Structure 1
């Protein structure tokens, strides 16, 4: 089971030096990948009365694709979007950005995608919120062809590409696409289309039910469920013993990857996040580099 970290988006601040220090120290501690998630804009609660979303206009988010270009020059970590809200982005441009990250990292990139929940963000980016499920499936089909073929002609419900292609092509052809999933339709979509998935629950009966839906959908699509990756997430609570126990449960559940999340743990600086990860690395037996 490969172990990485969740980039502390909402708590790391805007200082590029903090981003650099975090990425480099994470690699030194023996973590293998860095996962970052995505919000382009936040809603202003003063305008959107009754706003109940977990993030708003005051919540800091680094843009993952640009962030990864920076980190690719500083570390040899695998970089993972977990997730990027693909339907609110242009698929061909997202494919180009992903191909560039894959090149800059030497093929150490996984593109996690999902549908998102924020109507305000979709509106600001000029995309339809209601049709995002159908859109993301077509986007993945377009991107995979662009990553694998020098010239592509494609016409679908949402996309038209006529004799066009990316240059240079990525190292991975195609780049692995993982899906965020927290509902039966999303589980089925992951089973039919994804190279791996991010369950939004802890090991237990709910995870087993979700895995069954993913596996059944994969089989119906003529795919081998055992070839799908699964990345769990473990929140740091300050207890090395609790983290070790949860990591063991994810391993037993069949996770191929695990990310350690230090957000919402009362940590106030990049130094405190890294100190927590140092304890986590020791508890999990990671070999420092």
Structure 2
């Protein structure tokens, strides 16, 4: 099983040097991939009807994953990249196809595109995209991305997209893996039909493990082979005081979780230090060094 790390953007507060130091250090420690979360905007949560359901607000910092990964790719050689997840329906599909293709080319094939529908209608409205149709739009985007990455001329007419005999050149050297994420039944069904993998989050025993079993069942129903399908765990831990967030696990707890995940068919997992009370790069890395040592990485 491949073990990565979630970038702790809340504590490191948009510091570019922290991003560089963290990425190079986790590569040196032997971790496989770096997960970055995605929000273009944070919204004020007060006086909303309906209320905002997600954990992030206007004070929470985020980097754009594609730009941050492009920067880090030039500073690393083996570290792989996968947003967990990019909110694809609020973006222009053809532009993301171009950006992702270049990132994959310039990084030497180290990029996978993690995608989901998101939860923040304020962000969608600000970007001029319908929030209510985001699921249908995402499904169509997966098809269009794969066609564009072929490098062939594309003549595409969908419900939300029109590409009139045009090509994306240079195309990536291979079709970039598309990894879906989410918690809903539609997200599982979409991944089972169209995606190359799934990112699982939420309470481990109650959500992630049953979700993996459900997705394996759906893959079989769709005539797809479970082998080769990426099953990625966003290791979160116990609910924290901050609404919607989780406290990280101790090293022994983490090792037990990873062992159980692999035994159930997990192929990837990302260790999360965000929310554990660390405030500096060195504090995050000190904990990750203990994890790497316990796992025998490096």
TM-score where L is the length of structure 2 = 0.91
Alignment deviations for residues 230-253 of structure 1 (CA, whole Å, 9 cap, x no partner) = 011224746221121111111111
Q: Does 1:13 align with 2:13?
A: yes
Range with bigger deviation, 73-82 or 231-240? 231-240
Rounded to whole Å, the distance in 1 between the matches of 2:152 and 2:45 is: 46
Counterpart residue number, 1:239? 250
Range with bigger deviation, 219-228 or 149-158? 219-228
1:202 offset after TM fit, Å? 4.8
Counterpart residue number, 1:251? 262
Counterpart residue number, 1:43? 43
Is the CA contact 2:212–2:231 (under 8 Å) kept in the aligned structure 1?
A: no
Range with bigger deviation, 2-11 or 227-236? 227-236
Counterpart residue number, 2:290? 279
Pair 238,162 (structure 1): closer, same or farther in 2 beyond 3 Å: closer
Pair 218,53 (structure 1): closer, same or farther in 2 beyond 3 Å: closer
The number of residue pairs the alignment matches comes to 286
Counterpart residue number, 2:239? none
Pair 239,79 (structure 1): closer, same or farther in 2 beyond 3 Å: same
Gaps of 5+ in 2: 237-246
Counterpart residue number, 2:240? none
Counterpart residue number, 1:103? 105
Q: Which consecutive aligned stretches of 4+ in structure 1 deviate over 6 angstroms post-superposition?
A: none
Counterpart residue number, 1:225? 226
Q: How big is the alpha-carbon RMSD for the aligned residues of Structure 1 and Structure 2?
A: 1.8
Counterpart residue number, 2:162? 160
Rounded to whole Å, the distance in 2 between the matches of 1:52 and 1:250 is: 28
Secondary structure at the aligned position of 2:190 is classed as helix
TM-score where L is the length of structure 1 = 0.93
Rounded to whole Å, the distance in 2 between the matches of 1:237 and 1:143 is: 35
1:169 paired residue among 152, 171, 195: 171
Rounded to whole Å, the distance in 2 between the matches of 1:52 and 1:134 is: 21
1:52 offset after TM fit, Å? 5.2
Rounded to whole Å, the distance in 2 between the matches of 1:105 and 1:163 is: 28
Is the CA contact 1:43–1:121 (under 8 Å) kept in the aligned structure 2?
A: yes
Alignment deviations for residues 85-144 of structure 1 (CA, whole Å, 9 cap, x no partner) = 000001111111110110111001110100000000000010011111110010010000
Rounded to whole Å, the distance in 2 between the matches of 1:240 and 1:218 is: 33
1:104-253 aligned within 5 A = 104-172=106-174, 174-204=175-205, 206-235=207-236, 237=248, 239-253=250-264
Pair 6,101 (structure 1): closer, same or farther in 2 beyond 3 Å: same
Counterpart residue number, 2:241? none
1:206 offset after TM fit, Å? 4.1
Counterpart residue number, 1:82? 84
Range with bigger deviation, 138-147 or 248-257? 248-257
Secondary structure at the aligned position of 1:226 is classed as coil
